[in-house]
Structure 1
Amino acid sequence: MYQIPAHQPRGKQIRELLERLGMPYEDISTAMLSQTVGYLAGLAGFSRNTESYSGPEFSDEFLLMSQLSRGRMDALLTGMKEAGMAPVQLKAVVTEHNQHWRLDALLREITREHEVMKVYGKLAKLIDETAGALTPGSPIALRVALQKSQEAIQRAEPDPQELRQCLAMLDSATRGA
């Protein structure tokens, strides 16, 4: 767990849930961000990195989950929901792909993906609303903005900047319509 302080009510609540579920946990400090994901997860073959971390501190809560079955992961997420806890937005599962990454690199990537998904969700919702309200007499600017937005979210790897631009363009076009 990163940025989930034990002394705050939310941190206490999450730790109690983990203990109730019999899931061991560790706190990750900013100084540990230079460690590999594999080392932090206690995987064999990974040793402590002696390089100290000197980058920025991440402010968002983060859960790094390792060696949890799908059922155990679901139990944790369901337990949080049933307890009325807001979900931890940034989460990652240790994989063969990311176990060699430094944690700061993984956090940057997870943060970027989370931001893309937030913009993507807003844009997809606005596209649906706009497409549903489109009439034969709708302005050309609205139709063009809708078309570009639909193309942007259909890409295999949507560009975050393009999504933001499409969201602004479509939002502006719908207000002017």
Structure 2
Amino acid sequence: MTKHVLVYLGDHTYKEGAVTRVLGDLKLPYTLLKDSDLSQKIGYLFSLDGFDKEEKDESLHIAYDLLLFRDLQDQDILAINALLDALDRKIQRKAMLTEHNKNWTFYELCLEIDKEHQYFDLMEQIKQILMSSKELIKENYTASSWEIYEKAFYHAYDCLKKESDFNTLRLAHQALVDAQQGLTKR
């Protein structure tokens, strides 16, 4: 088992000192990636057998940061998270090397992880609105505005339960926000 961390900081290069210190303190080998590495296959970046550097003239950049782990255990990842959080240098996007993604370019992985990040962030936003609904009192609002809100509430809740696709969630979130803003006091 060869533990290793690929670190891409994007526009967050100010985190470099904290990240390298944390990984060094945890004795975890790492590689700091540059924009020129984004077009390389993940298998190559981890020095896996059968992967060679590809010569590409692509100019790629991604604004957000991402950590990609090879053979790390849950306790390693939890330790990284805790130490980075303590230094106020949290990195939201993380992934593990898999048999499937080793053939992707790092850029492709970043895009996929960002989609997942946006999806779970949207789910969390909907959950927060649903939870804050406990504070609302039906009798304080007109029947018609409450009916619209209640319909949007249950639709959003159902989308969460079903783990609907991103576009369905996005529409449910917007309908819920609009319905909440449209509540009219009696």
User: Do they superpose with TM above 0.5?
Assistant: yes
1:1-177 equivalences in 2 (<5 Å): 1-3=7-9, 8=14, 10-54=15-59, 56-81=60-85, 83-130=86-133, 133=136, 135=138, 139-156=146-163, 158-177=164-183
What's the CA shift string for 1:115-146, capped at 9, x where partnerless?
11111100111123226636475721111111
Aligned partner letter, 2:90 = P
CA distance in 1, matches of 2:72, 2:177: 41
Alpha-carbon RMSD across the aligned residues, in angstroms, is 2.3
Instruction: Indicate the SS of the match to 1:99.
Output: helix
CA distance in 1, matches of 2:158, 2:18: 43
What's the CA shift string for 1:61-111, capped at 9, x where partnerless?
111111222222222222223x33231011111112211111111111001
CA distance in 2, matches of 1:5, 1:59: 5
How many percent identity over aligned positions? 24
How many equivalent pairs are there? 173
Structure 2 gaps, min length 5: 1-6
Aligned partner letter, 1:34 = S
Instruction: Indicate the SS of the match to 1:112.
Output: helix
Stretches of 4+ aligned residues off by more than 4 angstroms? 4-7
**What TM-score results when the alignment is normalised by the length of structure 1?**
0.85
Distance 1:127 1:5, change over 3 A: closer
Instruction: Indicate the SS of the match to 2:175.
Output: helix
Instruction: Indicate the SS of the match to 2:94.
Output: strand
Instruction: Indicate the SS of the match to 2:104.
Output: coil
Distance 1:63 1:44, change over 3 A: same
Aligned partner letter, 1:20 = D
Native 8 Å contact 1:3 1:60 kept in 2:
yes
**Greater strand percent: which structure?**
2
Of residues 86-95 and 131-140 in structure 1, the stretch that sits farther from structure 2 once superposed is: 131-140
Native 8 Å contact 2:126 2:156 kept in 1:
yes
